[in-house]
């Protein structure tokens, strides 16, 4: 009975004690965390001051270099796809900084940007082929025309972008474009011209008129005035008439297609005035 009475009294005393504050447990955990962080900071400070951290880092780097050499994880080869006009020398110079580098540390974005600064490269992609090869895919500019702009002649690609090539002698037979904004609209013009291949082969130039429509030059002597709206229909009309009546073989200076469904010809008076020549 005495033991039972003691247990009862202890239980009553415990019930009379006030509960612990709720903030006490979080405060204890915060204190423990502060002690741990302080200990870690102290250890880090001692490692830095004694040079142990630097020595450990160098040992780790040495082990990594040894592992890289054993596995062959360094840039040794470059495979190139799509290279046509870009020279091997230009490619080697662009990729020279990466030769022998740890292949997993090569920044592919930086390699791509260096390649796209080459004159003929329009777009480049770079991938790793482990253990030691970089795969480079090039999309090069396709020269389509020469543009006579404010700074003189420039080479223009099929996308309308200027190609930074200084020596243009190899491209002197390309069509010649005129107009300040001709390169920006050149891609649409190329699509239009290629829709009729027989006519497209005769194109020697084009001029953007009023930033709205094109005059196309055929055979270096005949001007084809295309309309501002629906120039495709006018171009097809001319192609059909050429197949039917060989209209472009006549003595004409210009073909005006600006009126829908109509073809207006301007005759070449100089040719017609030649003695003994009949009108076409």
Q: Full-prediction pTM beyond 0.85?
A: no
CATH architecture assigned to 77-140: Roll (3.10)
Q: Where in the chain is the domain with CATH 3.10.20.310?
A: 77-140
Structure tokens at 17: 């004690």
Every domain range in the chain assigned CATH 3.40.50.11690: 143-272
Q: What CATH topology corresponds to 143-272?
A: Rossmann fold (3.40.50)
**pLDDT per residue as tens, the chain (280 positions):** 555 455 545 555 544 555 556 555 655 665 665 565 565 556 655 555 665 556 655 665 555 555 555 556 899 999 999 999 999 999 999 999 999 999 999 999 999 999 999 999 999 999 999 999 999 999 999 999 999 988 899 999 998 999 999 999 999 999 999 999 999 999 999 999 999 999 999 999 999 999 999 999 999 999 999 999 999 999 999 999 999 999 999 889 999 999 988 899 998 866 555 555 444 3
The position carrying tokens 């109509």 is 262
With 0-12 / 13-18 / 19 or more C-beta atoms within 10 angstroms meaning exposed / middle / buried, residue 61 is exposed
Q: Is 219 helix (H, G, I), strand (E, B) or coil?
A: coil
Would strands 176-178 and 203-209 be described as parallel, antiparallel, or unpaired? parallel
């Amino acid at each position: 009975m005495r033991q039972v009475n003691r247990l009862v009294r202890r239980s009553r005393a415990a019930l009379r004690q006030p509960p612990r504050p709720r903030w006490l447990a979080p405060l204890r955990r915060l204190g423990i965390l502060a002690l741990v962080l302080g200990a870690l900071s102290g250890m880090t400070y001692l490692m830095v001051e004694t040079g142990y951290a630097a020595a450990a880092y160098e040992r780790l780097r040495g082990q990594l270099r040894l592992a890289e050499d054993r596995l062959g994880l360094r840039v040794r080869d470059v495979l190139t796809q799509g290279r046509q006009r870009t020279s091997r020398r230009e490619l080697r110079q662009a990729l020279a900084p990466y030769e022998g580098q740890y292949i997993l540390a090569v920044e592919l974005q930086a390699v791509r940007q260096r390649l796209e600064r080459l004159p003929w490269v329009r777009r480049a992609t770079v991938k790793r082929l482990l253990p030691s090869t970089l795969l480079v895919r090039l999309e090069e500019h396709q020269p389509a025309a020469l543009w006579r702009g404010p700074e003189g002649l420039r080479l223009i690609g099929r996308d309308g972008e200027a190609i930074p090539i200084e020596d243009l002698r190899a491209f002197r037979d390309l069509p010649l474009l005129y107009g300040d904004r001709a390169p920006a609209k050149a891609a649409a013009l190329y699509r239009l011209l290629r829709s009729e291949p027989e006519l497209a082969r005769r194109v020697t130039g084009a001029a953007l008129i009023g930033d709205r429509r094109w005059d196309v030059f055929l055979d270096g002597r005949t001007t084809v005035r295309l309309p501002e709206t629906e120039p495709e229909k006018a171009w097809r009309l001319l192609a059909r008439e050429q197949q039917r009546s060989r209209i472009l073989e006549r003595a004409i200076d210009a073909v005006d297609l600006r009126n829908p469904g109509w073809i207006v010809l301007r005759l070449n008076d100089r040719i017609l005035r030649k003695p003994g020549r009949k009108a076409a």
